[in-house]
Amino acid sequence: GAVVSQHPSWVICKSGTSVKIECRSLDFQATTMFWYRQFPKQSLMLMATSNEGSKATYEQGVEKDKFLINHASLTLSTLTVTSAHPEDSSFYICRAQVSSYEQYFGPGTRLTVT
Amino acid sequence: TQLLEQSPQFLSIQEGENLTVYCNSSSVFSSLQWYRQEPGEGPVLLVTVVTGGEVKKLKRLTFQFGDARKDSSLHITAAQPGDTGLYLCAGARNNNDMRFGAGTRLTVKP
């Protein structure tokens, strides 16, 4: 089946630094990629939607200058958390969409900001 | 306010019992999906339902999409410890707009 990878799977960084998370579709091209954030014992909250070659669309309340999304190709999207703070610690998950009925989640990246 | 309301939020049962999880909304969805997520992993798709009134079975799991395409249920028969996890419903209103419910955390005790 289709596979989506995320790198790194977990990362610890110091407050004030930036962290880049990669989401790759390994054996298919994704027209659209989505980024979610999930806090412990909570559901997934959509952060932004990105289409290859265009600017990401951010959900209300998500700072686009803090969470930079780049979707340079049909197989790669990156999320950069800039000037990270402890409250940014969370589980970040990407979803790669082939069509409205075919989409796959990545395994997630656990970010801990100290 | 969640677009999709899931209930119950938590459920702890003994192995062998049956259970039903509900996903309700005031919005109509073009499709609805159920996922299961284990700690530290991404959600895994269980099923997609697209037709009002549709019923799909996956071994001991039965999924139903409401006639009006606003609600769905997941029924598990003879639950096993391996069924333990976070169950999420997600509704799609158009090609890209997919929203998740808050999830139901199921624990099946041996």
**Above 60 in pLDDT, residue B1?**
no
Question: What's residue B64's pLDDT?
Answer: 97
Residue A43 to residue B101, Cβ atoms within 8 A:
yes
A78-99 pLDDT, tens digit per residue, is 999 999 999 999 999 999 988 7
Percent of chain B predicted with pLDDT > 90: 78
B74-109 pLDDT, tens digit per residue, is 999 999 999 999 999 999 877 567 788 999 999 999
3-class state of residue A87 by DSSP: helix
Distance to chain B for A54, nearest Cα, Å: 15
First to last CA, chain A: 37
Chain A residues in contact with B96 (beta carbon < 8 A): 32, 34, 49, 97, 100
Interface test with A, best of B96, B104, B105, B106 (most A CBs within 10 A): B96
3-class state of residue A95 by DSSP: strand
Question: What's residue B67's pLDDT?
Answer: 95
pLDDT band of A40, cuts 50, 70, 90: confident
Question: What's residue A64's pLDDT?
Answer: 92
DSSP 8-state secondary structure symbol assigned to residue A59: P
- B22, B87 contact by CB (below 8 A): no
pLDDT averaged over every residue in chain A:
91
Question: What's residue A55's pLDDT?
Answer: 87
Q: Which residues, including other chains, have CB under 8 Å from residue A105's CB and lie 6 or more apart?
A: A4, A93, A94, A95, A96, B35, B42, B43, B44, B45
A42-83 pLDDT, tens digit per residue, is 888 999 999 888 889 999 999 999 999 998 888 999 999 999
Question: What's residue B3's pLDDT?
Answer: 80
C-alpha A50 chain-centroid distance? 10
Question: What's residue B97's pLDDT?
Answer: 73
Q: Which residues, including other chains, have CB under 8 Å from residue B20's CB and lie 6 or more apart?
A: B73, B74, B75, B76
Question: What's residue B98's pLDDT?
Answer: 79
Instruction: In whole angstroms, give the CA distance from residue A36 to residue A91.
Output: 8
B26-79 pLDDT, tens digit per residue, is 989 988 999 999 988 999 999 999 999 999 999 999 999 999 999 999 999 999
Residue B42 to residue A106, Cβ atoms within 8 A:
yes
Question: What's residue A43's pLDDT?
Answer: 85
A7-36 pLDDT, tens digit per residue, is 999 999 999 999 999 999 998 888 899 999
